[in-house]
Structure 1
Amino acid sequence: MMAPGQIFCVIEPVDMRRGMESLSQWIQTSLGTTPCDGTAYAFSNRSKTRLKLHIWDGTGVWCCQRRLHRGAFVWPRADDRYWVMTQDQWDWLIKGVDWQRLSAPAPAHWHV
């Protein structure tokens, strides 16, 4: 599978029983984009224990699912429909690590 141009984390949870066609239609109608543009679209379930990745590789669609046995994925919170992630943020997210804390500045009241 090729590396995606962008990674969009869809904020709204989806039913993990949805397949490629259903997710492709959701991308078109809800985001107004084409699912065949090289962007990876990541979806989560309500409890954030599963994620599904939908990506076009130039010849077909990949639809992969990942499940955590313990804990939950740290999903972005935003007012928008999706959150654009960097490759580093994505790598940490799929490992179950709080990727939002990796680039957070130290609190101003901390002294060394």
Structure 2
Amino acid sequence: MLTIHPEKIYISSANVDMRKSIDGLSAIVEQNFKLNQFSNAMFVFHNRHCDKVKILYWDSDGFCLLYKRIEHGKFHFPRGITADKHTVTQEELSWLLHGLKIEEIHKYNSLKNAR
């Protein structure tokens, strides 16, 4: 089982050429996002049709690149993002990778100490 606990998860708002691999995607992180690609963060990229996703992260001694292609339908990335990148939680990334629309999911607030 693969367990990853990034401090932040960034989603690219722009389409990315899926022929890019670790070096090309890490260059986007550094040049376009102005972020450190060696940080404890995940960087999520998608193609024009939103049916392919690549996730790049640094794993203390090397880069890891995850690739997912959905066979039917597409991933529903957040719309209307004007910045180069957008942050999401691990839970939201999981929803996204399972084909759900992040904008339409409303989580109930915790009822700690409600009384």
TM range (shorter): 0.7 to 0.9
Aligned to 1:13: 15
**Percent sequence identity over matched residues?**
24
1:98 equivalent in alignment to 2:101: yes
Regions of 4+ moved over 2 Å: none
Q: What runs of 5+ residues in structure 1 fail to find an aligned partner? A: 105-112
- Distance in 2, matches of 1:89 and 1:2, equals 15
Q: What runs of 5+ residues in structure 2 fail to find an aligned partner? A: 108-115
Aligned to 1:64: 66
Query: After alignment, is 38-47 or 25-34 more displaced?
Result: 25-34
1:81 equivalent in alignment to 2:75: no
Instruction: For residue 14 of structure 2, give the secondary structure of its aligned residue in structure 1.
Output: coil
Amino acid in structure 1 at the alignment position of 2:17: D
Do the aligned residues in 2 keep the contact of 1:9 with 1:76 (CA within 8 Å)?
A: no
| TM-score, length-scaled by structure 1 | 0.88
Structure 1 residue 66: Cα displacement: 0.4
Amino acid in structure 1 at the alignment position of 2:53: L
Structure 1 residue 41: Cα displacement: 0.3
Aligned length: 105
